[in-house]
């Protein structure tokens, strides 16, 4: 019998001026992650985060960046310095639960083609409900709109055990992403030009194109505050979401869907911009237009990225919704994943 050593797991928390979250949630991470490495990668915080860690948690390894690198490069630079079989990218505003690591690491160890996985993500404030950033596993519609089992747009389901399963998905949330280190580095990590938002969808799309699986494991759950760095109402967040959403499609769409999808997505984005304006949110309306201009201005970069990546002519990606979630939600009034027709999914 050949002895196989236990895999090494590094839990990596990216921090930027988040001392209050470190104080609140590090105790649960330490208590329920015994025997595993815990790192804090600090994005040049100007609060007292580093001093707090040094005084209260000297056993935690700290990687200090010399500037705010954003979510993507903040993790990329940190993970290049960490040797482990698996990384857990964990937001600082997450409360983990007893036994949260074991089901997912066991699942990933059972199948070498699983590159990334997420647990059930529930709301810290409303603990019986799913949380926006990941819920019961990430999906994507044909126009590039992300949604989740348990969350469509801002409609959140109550957790009644309906997603206590193991299920292939399109994307695993960056709020709590378990990722195989070799696959992460093979894929060159998170897209640095995204800075933050949509980066996990892009990574998971590339991993699927490379032949890997992305999974959801409902046997593990965590609680997420959400909006800890940028609240949903912030125009900067609007800008990043619309810019990165368009760039995501530009980079990864199969050729046969490229022009049709981009045209329709641009049209819907312009409608969203008008809606922001009518609703008295001119800064968000302007953010959408600035986002589109930014993609156009940097089109040579995105064209080069598209050439470098695997974009199969015909794609059969798990968690790909062949319909329009905008149509299903706003016109047909389908508010849950289970209300959608199963034959519309890959």
342 is a domain residue? no
Name every residue whose Cβ is closer than 8 Å to that of residue 27 and which is 6 or more positions away in sequence: none
Q: Which of 25, 41, 42 is nearest to 124 (CA)?
A: 25
- Same domain membership, residue 291 and residue 193: no
309: in domain: yes
pTM of the complete model: 0.96
Tally of domains in the chain: 2
Residues 162 and 303 in one domain: no
Looking at the DSSP bridge assignments, the partners of residue 155 are 152
What's the rounded mean pLDDT across residues 100-106?
Answer: 98
| Residue 3 lies inside a defined structural domain of this protein | no
Q: Is residue 230 a part of any domain in this protein? A: no
130 and 185 housed in the same domain:
yes
For the chain, count helices (H), then strands (E): 11, 14
**d(C-alpha 321, C-alpha 149), whole Å:** 12
Pairing relationship of beta strands 151-152 and 9-15 according to DSSP bridges: unpaired
How many Å apart are CA 150 and CA 135, to the nearest integer?
A: 6
Q: Within a 13 Å sphere around the CA of 30, how many CA atoms are in the beta-carbon half? A: 15
The average pLDDT across 126-137 equals 97
Which token pair is 247?
A: 């760039």
Asked whether residue 211 falls in the same domain as residue 259, the answer is no
Q: Do 219 and 291 fall into the same domain? A: no
Tell me, yes or no, whether 49 and 94 share the same domain: yes
pLDDT in tens, 13-35: 999 999 999 999 999 999 999 99
Domain-embedded: residue 333: no
Distances (CA, A) of 92 to 171, 199, 259: 20, 17, 39
* Residue 75, both tokens: 């993790």
Domain that holds residue 241: 235-315
Q: For 50, what's the count of Cα atoms within 13 Å in the CB-facing half-sphere?
A: 12
Residue 52 counted as domain residue: yes
- Exposed (0-12), middle (13-18) or buried (19+): which is 59, by Cβ within 10 Å? exposed
In this predicted structure, the answer to whether residue 128 has a pLDDT above a threshold of 90 is yes
84 contacts 32 by C-beta, under 8 angstroms = no
- Is 173 a domain residue? yes
Percent with pLDDT over 70 in the chain: 96
CA distance readout (Å), 106 to 84, 93, 102, 117, 121: 16, 25, 6, 11, 19
Tokens found for residue 167: 């299920």
The answer, yes or no, to whether residue 4 has pLDDT greater than 90, is no
């Amino acid at each position: 019998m050949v002895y196989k050593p236990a895999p090494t797991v590094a839990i990596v928390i990216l921090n930027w001026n988040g001392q209050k979250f470190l104080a609140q949630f590090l105790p649960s991470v330490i208590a329920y992650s015994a025997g595993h490495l815990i790192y804090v990668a600090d994005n040049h915080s100007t609060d007292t985060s580093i001093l707090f860690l040094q005084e209260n948690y000297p056993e935690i390894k700290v990687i200090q960046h010399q500037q705010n690198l954003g979510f993507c490069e903040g993790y990329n630079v940190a993970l290049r310095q960490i040797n482990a079989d698996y990384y857990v990218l964990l937001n600082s505003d997450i409360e983990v639960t007893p036994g949260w690591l074991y089901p997912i690491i066991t699942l990933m160890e059972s199948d070498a083609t699983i590159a990334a996985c997420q647990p059930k993500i529930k709301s810290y404030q409303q603990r019986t409900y799913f949380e926006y950033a990941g819920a019961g596993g990430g999906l994507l519609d044909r126009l590039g709109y992300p949604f989740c089992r348990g969350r469509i747009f801002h409609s959140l389901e109550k957790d009644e055990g309906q997603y206590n399963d193991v299920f292939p998905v399109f994307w695993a949330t960056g709020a709590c992403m378990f990722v195989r280190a070799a696959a992460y580095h093979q894929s060159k990590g998170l897209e640095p030009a995204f800075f933050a938002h949509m980066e996990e969808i892009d990574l998971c799309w590339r991993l699927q194109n490379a032949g890997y699986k992305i999974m959801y494991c409902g046997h593990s759950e965590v609680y997420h505050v959400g909006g800890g760095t940028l609240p949903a109402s912030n125009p900067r967040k609007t800008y990043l979401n619309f810019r990165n959403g368009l760039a995501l499609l530009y980079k990864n769409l199969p050729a046969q869907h490229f022009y049709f999808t981009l045209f329709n997505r641009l049209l819907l984005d312009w409608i969203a911009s008008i809606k922001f304006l009518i609703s008295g949110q001119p800064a968000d309306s302007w953010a959408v237009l600035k986002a589109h201009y930014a993609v156009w201005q940097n089109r040579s970069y995105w064209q080069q990225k598209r050439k470098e990546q695997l974009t199969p002519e015909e794609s059969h990606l798990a968690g790909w919704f062949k319909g329009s979630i905008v149509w299903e939600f706003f016109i047909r009034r389908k508010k849950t994943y289970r209300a959608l027709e199963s034959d519309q999914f890959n």
